[in-house]
Amino acid sequence: MTLLGQAQTGMRSSTPKIVKISGDDNLKVVYRNLGNNHSYPFMWADTVTMSGTEVVVASGVKFHGYDLATYGNVTATPLGNPGGYLWVTKDTAENVVKVHCAASYEGDIDVKYMIGEASTSRYIEAIYCRGNSGASPSLP
The ranges assigned to domains in the chain are 45-117
pLDDT in tens, 54-77: 999 999 998 878 899 999 999 999
Q: What is the pLDDT of residues 9-33, one digit of tens each?
A: 445 555 556 667 788 888 888 888 8
CA distance 77 to 112: 9
pTM: 0.70
- CA-closest candidate to residue 97, choices 28, 48, 29: 48
Q: Which of 22-36, 103-117, 126-140 has the lowest mean pLDDT?
A: 126-140
